[in-house]
Each structure stands twice: as structure tokens, then as C-alpha cells.
A = this chain, B = another copy of it.
């Protein structure tokens, strides 16, 4: 997988949508939680924010047991787990009473985004996107477990887009300190979706570069491969973001105490943002098709131009060369050869032929 990823930069971004699942999970009973993904096993890092309107504190305990002791049921608790290996996620979920199938989904980093309502918690899988340096997109799965007074977020690796919420918890800015766990979960989700915009804009910038190059690309094969790769990337993004949109639609329709009514307008807003992202992807896909058509048409035009040059030069000189050949023949009786006016006359004929041809091509708009 590692190797395949590296290759992807110069090829269609054809990362197998199934990679690793069958090898790693085969031979285990269904529902057995097992880590499925392509990152190096690292020890999961735990952190917990406990806050209410009056105060907040942040701890980074080393063990799940220590973490659970820190939960204060009268405040809002936000547990963040970075890293899926090492067993911490399983232990945490077990202690929180999460269904084993849901835990297996958390650990399967190829899982489709979804929302599921269990008796006493809400379970969500979503994707955090971030642009890589080479312009491609990194997909990181983020799972949410939302209980009253508790939000658990589980990420694959350190590094996320939640900095703003942390800042607001710490400074007390915005609504987050005054609201419940559902609002906190919404705020985190909102930041993930906000990030989609910049990822999609990055795609748009790459597309723009192809657009500028379309009429005369430096390297045709690279152009085609890159454009098709971008098309694949757009499809992958669409496939990642579409179920996120569905998840939000599900949340809006959920008649659950987990979703307080005053959160609905915020969810609706989130839903509209996701629609906007998806429409942008559609627009880019159509622009990509237009760029391809412009490229193909310009290839065909250049071919045409090449053919015309060949044809003009050939059709002008071939008859003239024939005439020169005729008067280069060694027949003993060629009366023209002896006439003093013959040579200049032939030149006149040749110029006339060439001129006639050029006029003909001019009239045909060949140049």
C-alpha cells in the first residue's frame, strides 16, 4: 500500500478502494474489531477537555482508565483519540458501551461515512480531508460518539482541523462553552466541512492550470494522465462527501433527544454547505470534460495544420520537379533544348504553376 501510494503521484490516483480489508480481516469472526488501514501502528494519544460555561481544563492521560476517571458528568467532556492501534480505542469503546460492530467500523479506515443512532449514543463516521503537498488529497477517517455531556472523536493520526474549537473552549469565545455536547459535536463537524471548501478549491486551482495548458500542453501524455487523475480525484471526493451529506440529512430528520431543536437550523446550514461543495465538484467535473474537449480539438487542429504545410509544399514542387526532370532527359532529339528562349520560358511556366497553386490554396483558405 505504501508503495502504491507513492506511485499514485505519477499515475491516475488509483488507490484501491478496498485495499487491506481482505488481507487483514480475513479469518476473523464477523464483528471482531480489527484495525484496517495503511498507517504505521502508533500508540494512540488521548486527551480530554472538560468544560462548562464557568471553567475548562485539558488533560492528556496515558491510559484509558485514567481518562475515564476524568469525565465529569455535570460538564461537557470532549475526548479526542489520535491513532487507532494499540488497543486504546477498543478499551475506551467497551467501557462506554459502544456496540462491537460500531467499534469495528471505527477501526476500518475505509468505511463509508454514516450516522447511526443507538439507544444511548449517536455514532458517526466522517472523513477529514486535507491537501497534500503534491496537490493530491489526504483522507482521514474521524469517528464521533456523542452522548449527553460527552463527545468522543477518534482520528487516525495526530493533526486535525479542530484548533478553532480548542481556542474557543479555552477563550470562551462563541457559543461552545455555553452549549451542550451536541453543539460541540456540531462545531467539530462544521470545521471538518469548512475544510472541504479549501480542498475543493485546491482541486479547482489544479484544474485551472490544466485549462491554461489545454490548447498547447508541454507533454501530451503527462497532460492526459494528469487530467484523468484529477477526474478520478473528483470522483473519489464526490464519493467521500456524498454520504457525509446524507449523514447530515439523516441527523436533521432524526427525532431524537440527542439533537436539540435549536440545533436544526445549524444542521440545515451544514447541509447547504455540503450541497455547495458537491455542486462545486460537479462544476469542476464538467469543466474537466470541457478542457479535455478543447485539448483534443487543439490536437486535431495542429494535425490539420501540419498536413496543410506538407500538402502545400508537396503539391507546389512535385509538378515543378517533374518538369525539371523532363528537360534533364538525354534523348538525342529534344528540339526545345536547343532554343535559346527555352530555359527562361520554362522558368516562366514554373513560376506560373506555383503562383496558380498558391492562388488556389488561398481561395481554399488553406493559409
Contact = CB atoms under 8 A, between A and B. Distances in A.
Contact of A112 (B225, B232, B272, B320): B272
A11 B32 CA distance: 42
A290 B236 CA distance: 14
Nearest to A165: B29
A330 B325 contact: no
Contact of A269 (B101, B320, B334): B101
Interface in A224-244: 224-225, 228, 231-232, 235-236, 239
A282 to B, nearest CB: 8
A79 to B, nearest CB: 22
B276 A17 contact: yes
A1 B353 CA distance: 50
A54 interface: no
A12 B329 contact: no
A356 interface: no
Nearest to A286: B235
A226 to B, nearest CB: 10
Interface string A276-307: 11011001001100111110111111111111
A228 B328 contact: no
Interface in A208-237: 208, 211-212, 215-216, 220-221, 224-225, 228, 231-232, 235-236
A366 B328 CA distance: 32
A283 B337 contact: no
B309 A317 contact: no
Nearest to A302: B304
A239 B279 contact: yes
A176 interface: yes
A159 interface: no
Contacts of A204: 14, 16, 18
Interface in A310-343: 310-311, 313-315, 317-322, 324-334, 336-340, 342-343
Contacts of A239: 279, 283
A71 interface: no
A82 B12 CA distance: 43
B101 A266 contact: yes
Contacts of A236: 283
Interface string A37-52: 0000000000000000
Interface of A: 11-12, 14, 16-19, 21-22, 25-27, 29-32, 99, 101, 104-105, 110-112, 114, 164, 168, 173-176, 186-187, 190, 194, 197-198, 200-201, 204, 207-208, 211-212, 215-216, 220-221, 224-225, 228, 231-232, 235-236, 239, 265-266, 268-270, 272, 275-277, 279-280, 283, 286-287, 290-294, 296-311, 313-315, 317-322, 324-334, 336-340, 342-343, 346, 364-366
5 contacts: A11-B211, A12-B291, A224-B297, A320-B325, A328-B329
Given A19-B201, A224-B298, A327-B331, 10 more contacts: A14-B207, A21-B197, A22-B194, A30-B186, A30-B266, A215-B221, A221-B298, A314-B314, A327-B330, A332-B337
